[in-house]
Amino acid sequence: MSVLLPLSVVVPLVAATLLMAASRAWNRRGYDVFAIAAAGSVLVICIVLLFNSTREPMVYWFGDWSPKDGVALGVSFVAEPIALTLATLAAFLVTASLVYSWHFFDTVGNLFHVLMLVFLGAMIGFCLTGDLFTLFVFFELMSVTAFSLAGYKIEEEGSLQGSLNFAVTNSIGAFLILSGIALLYGRTGALNLAQIGESLAGGPADGLVITAFVFLIAGYFVKAAVVPFHFWLPDTYASAPTPVCVLFAGILSELGLYAIARVYWTMFDGVFGAGLVNLRAVMVGTGAVTAIVGAVMCWPQRHIKRLLAFSTVSHVGMFLVGVGLFSPVALAGTVVYLVTDGLVKGSLFFCAGILLHRLSSVDELGCDGLGRDIPYTGILFLLGGLGLAGLPPFGTFVGKAIIEEEAAHLGYSWVTYLVVAASVLTAAPVLRAGARVFWGYGPGDAYGHHSEAEGDEGEPETSEARDITPPLMWVTAAALLGVSLVAGMIPDLSIRLEPAADFFLDRGAYADLVLRGVTPHEVPLPPGAPLLKGAVIGLITALAAVFAAAMGLWHAKLPASMKGIIAKGLGPPFGRLRALHSGHVGDYVAWLTVGVAVLGGLLAATIG
């Protein structure tokens, strides 16, 4: 069974190599079928491993370099349920994207498929590895393939610019991570996560350890797009090809947060454990700022993909709140939220891709009412918007409810208001855009849009007949939404994840497993609490989002006094916030530097 662990990475990488070698020998459909088969088999491997790991976590040592007397020299893959849940999500989204892109990019060869498979292998390796440097290598592999995929449409200026901003900021993030790794290696002489954790636990939380921690966290914050490291994300998502956007929004950002949780709980928990209350405050605060900034920036967008990109920023903020609570219950809730939200967002991006196929545009105002011919896509789009809001039984409401409840336990009862506000503000623009584009509601330009980024794409992504939607496009969109819906109806989903989260947060148990081969005790499932309150909150959130969307559509009908208040009170600060998103990579790097300095100052003051 443990041989499946390396196979989950080897299969996509070998498949990508074969595909590369087979260039010109096959035709386009050959590449499609082969790539889908490879990604699908990886999905099956991940699911088998996931179910197996819920019974018993596993470790695989490459080249049989297993630890001697608790000292690890080799490189390991660790199979535990949280990592494998994310790996399974990655494999599922890649498979869906490959199916969806059956009708995409008709002129290109096999490079797209090769890049997608390498990207998949890198993401799974990133989830499974138990070694700090390998984590960096997979991070870089993931990043470089992501840069190329983002800039895939090299004929478009916007796409190139988005990819450049992405590559420069994320590379600086990677250098920060590498510097952090170098400092940790200098202190401990080890690269295995568990080994570093054991070594650090016996030492002081001095400047070197805090600096290394700040570098690692800041680097992963860039990938996760946490404010103020997030500026690259909307540029990239707005201009990347649709199937790639699905992966970026559904899993890539989330992997940044996964890495933060992983490095904290395997390495730093022992040495920083005493300052956990302060660390929690910093993380929850950062998450809250991210959730609000993303949500506020979401509202004025008219470019639908850019709108979804800002909603991703906002949701990453909420996930960070969940991860930053540093509790097993919140982590289990965050995983449920992250997976179901990633599926819903993927479905929304697929719908945006259908718009692009049919109308050659994703501009909310430009497409006003033009989507009347494709009402089924419209229904999927609106359902997706309600899913973002957390309407039961979409799985999103389960995750949000658990995060809110656990936050209240830990003294952050305001998190409920934050989650509701951010959910309303991210779901409402989606509903507004859907109602306007697919049904022509609302007057065309009454709402004061001044977005520079219009949604007109230079080159269409598809070359087939535009008067029909290929079935595979809407089937994949519906499938993602369906899985998210079903996940919400599985009873006690997050309760089942709690033992896994307990293990994830237990540094000692992880080290015992990796270094000494001791499997953790069976933990009994905690009693399940009914999520009635969460369901009610989800329902209220969805209703509020519908109301806010209506406000956005019929803005002109508001009384003049209210319009005046909105224009005077909210206009200038919003305008200033939007002006910060300048599309200029130099500005973004300046913000990144400020972010590292602020984060470092905060953590040095609170932990040290």
In the complex with other proteins, the residue whose CB is nearer, 89 or 453, is: 453
Residues 229-268 that bind other proteins (CB under 8 A): 234-235, 238-239
Question: Alpha carbon of 159 to those of 3, 137, 166: distances in Å?
Answer: 40, 26, 10
Q: Does 186 bind other proteins (CB under 8 A)?
A: yes
End-to-end CA distance of the chain: 44
Per-position x/- string for 93-132, each x denoting binding to other proteins as judged by CB under 8 A, each - no binding: ----------------------------------------
Among 81, 125, 130, 151, interactor with other proteins by CB under 8 A: 151
Among 10, 589, 602, 604, interactor with other proteins by CB under 8 A: 589
288 near 338, Cβ under 8 Å?
no
Classify residue 59 by its DSSP letter: E
Question: Alpha carbon of 569 to those of 134, 407, 423, 544, 580: distances in Å?
Answer: 50, 31, 22, 22, 19
Among 26, 62, 102, 185, interactor with other proteins by CB under 8 A: 185
Question: Alpha carbon of 582 to those of 171, 227, 236, 431, 588: distances in Å?
Answer: 20, 15, 13, 26, 8
Q: Does 583 bind other proteins (CB under 8 A)?
A: yes
Q: The tokens of 569 are what?
A: 């009170």
In the complex with other proteins, the residue whose CB is nearer, 165 or 347, is: 165
550 near 428, Cβ under 8 Å?
no
In the complex with other proteins, the residue whose CB is nearer, 89 or 304, is: 304
Per-position x/- string for 449-468, each x denoting binding to other proteins as judged by CB under 8 A, each - no binding: -xxxx---------------
Q: Does 167 bind other proteins (CB under 8 A)?
A: yes
Among 581, 595, 599, 603, interactor with other proteins by CB under 8 A: 581
In the complex with other proteins, the residue whose CB is nearer, 215 or 337, is: 215
**Total Cβ atoms within 10 A of residue 203:** 13
C-alpha to C-alpha distance for 24 and 357, rounded to whole angstroms = 27
Among 56, 106, 157, 445, interactor with other proteins by CB under 8 A: 157
Among 88, 163, 192, 242, interactor with other proteins by CB under 8 A: 163
C-alpha to C-alpha distance for 464 and 354, rounded to whole angstroms = 12
- Amino acid, res. 435: A
In the complex with other proteins, the residue whose CB is nearer, 69 or 155, is: 155
In the complex with other proteins, the residue whose CB is nearer, 340 or 426, is: 426
Among 593, 597, 598, 601, interactor with other proteins by CB under 8 A: 593
Q: Does 586 bind other proteins (CB under 8 A)?
A: yes
C-alpha to C-alpha distance for 543 and 540, rounded to whole angstroms = 5
SS (H, E, C) 21-53: HCCCCCCHHHHHHHHHHHHHHHHHHHHHHHHHH
Task: In angstroms, give the least distance from the CB of 90 to other proteins.
Answer: 21
Stretch that binds other proteins, among 44-52, 166-174, 276-284, 541-549 (CB under 8 A): 166-174
C-alpha to C-alpha distance for 234 and 161, rounded to whole angstroms = 12
C-alpha to C-alpha distance for 246 and 342, rounded to whole angstroms = 8
Among 168, 276, 539, 566, interactor with other proteins by CB under 8 A: 168
Task: In angstroms, give the least distance from the CB of 532 to other proteins.
Answer: 41
Burial (0-12, 13-18, 19+ Cβ within 10 Å), 179: middle
Dihedral angle over CA of 74, 77, 82, 85, nearest 10? 160
Stretch that binds other proteins, among 12-20, 155-163, 248-256, 262-270 (CB under 8 A): 155-163
Positions in the binding site for other proteins (CB under 8 A): 133, 137, 140, 144, 147-148, 151, 154-158, 160-165, 167-168, 171-172, 174-175, 178-179, 181-183, 185-186, 191, 234-235, 238-239, 300-301, 450-453, 578-579, 581-587, 589-590, 593
